[in-house]
């Protein structure tokens, strides 16, 4: 129960509780004549009370009024409980007023002069109903406010959780990107080394091929030179032979 609700209900609870508490204390100290008068009026309206002794009935009634008055005065007692007790008590008094002959006009709620004193208890019925309904409505409003606050807090908690999750995901992505960049750099270094090794191997292979080609060309040139030398030698020998043959032929003719 909120402090505003307690302050709002305090005047009616204090006035009504003090009135009922005083009435209950007086009944606890009542004499036999008072007990008989109260018991006679109550048993006339509610025959079930006729089995009780007047003194016992007065003490029970006094104890009930004392308890009800104390409940209304004590702020720790919920307004709903105090209002329900006051509603039942005042309803019983009004029932006694309605059932007692001569307390109201025939077929009407208008009290007679004799019944005005009891009919005034209707104000306690209104106060009891007001306390009961006010507590129910206030409790519903407070419950609604609490639920609204809880829903708002839940939404804020979900937003905070989503924001935290987004931050964690962002850090994870950033860390993953850094790791990916590191992997790409390592792959680039490995690729560069591989390309360098391939280039060296290719250059070595080309150098070997060029050396082999040079050796082949040198062998071919040497063979060609040898072949040319042999051909020149053969040509010279043939020419010499031809010259010798011609000289011999000339000599033979001259000798003739």
Q: What is the mean pLDDT of the chain?
A: 80
Q: In the structure, how many helices (H) and strands (E) does the chain have?
A: 6, 0
Residue 2 has pLDDT above 70, yes or no: no
HSE, side-chain direction, 13 A CA sphere, residue 164: 6
pLDDT in tens, 63-114: 999 999 999 999 888 888 888 988 888 888 888 888 888 888 787 778 887 7
Select from 120, 148, 133, 143 the least CA-distant residue to 8: 133
pLDDT at 256: 45
Residue 247 has pLDDT above 80, yes or no: no
Structure tokens at 179: 């790791």
| Cα–Cα distance for residue pair 28/153, rounded to 1 Å | 54
In the chain, % of residues over pLDDT 90: 8
3-class secondary structure, 105:
coil
pTM: predicted TM-score of the whole model, two decimal places: 0.50
Over range 167-175, report the average pLDDT. Answer: 78
Residue 128 has pLDDT above 70, yes or no: yes
Q: Are residues 138 and 1 in contact, defined by beta-carbon separation less than 8 angstroms?
A: yes
Q: CB-based contacts of 35: which residues, under 8 Å, 6+ apart? A: 54, 55, 57, 58
pLDDT tier at 192, thresholds 50, 70, 90:
confident
Structure tokens at 4: 């505003």
Instruction: Return the top range by mean pLDDT from 31-35, 117-121, 247-251.
Output: 31-35
């Amino acid at each position: 129960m909120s402090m505003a609700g307690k302050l709002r209900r305090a005047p009616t609870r204090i006035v009504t509780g003090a009135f009922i508490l005083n009435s209950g204390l007086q009944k606890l100290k009542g004499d036999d004549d008072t007990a008989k008068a109260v018991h006679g009026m109550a048993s006339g309206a509610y025959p079930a009370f006729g089995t009780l002794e007047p003194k016992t009935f007065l003490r029970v009634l006094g104890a009930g009024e004392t308890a009800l008055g104390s409940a209304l005065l004590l702020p720790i007692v919920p307004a709903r409980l105090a209002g329900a007790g006051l509603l039942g008590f005042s309803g019983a008094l009004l029932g006694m007023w309605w059932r007692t002959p001569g307390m109201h006009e025939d077929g009407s709620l208008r009290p007679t002069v004799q019944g005005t004193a009891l009919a005034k208890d209707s104000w306690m019925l209104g106060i009891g109903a007001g306390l009961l309904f006010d507590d129910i409505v206030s409790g519903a409003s407070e419950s609604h406010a609490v639920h609204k606050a809880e829903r708002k807090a839940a939404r804020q908690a979900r937003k905070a959780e989503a924001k935290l999750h987004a931050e964690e995901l962002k850090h994870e992505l950033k860390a993953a990107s850094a790791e990916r960049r590191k992997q790409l750099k390592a792959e680039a270094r490995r690729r560069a080394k591989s390309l360098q090794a391939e280039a060296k191997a290719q250059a070595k292979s080309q150098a070997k091929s060029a050396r082999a080609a040079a050796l082949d060309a040198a062998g071919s040139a040497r063979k060609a030179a040898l072949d040319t030398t042999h051909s020149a030698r053969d040509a010279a020998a043939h020419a010499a032979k031809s010259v010798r043959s011609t000289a011999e032929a000339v000599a033979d003719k001259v000798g003739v």
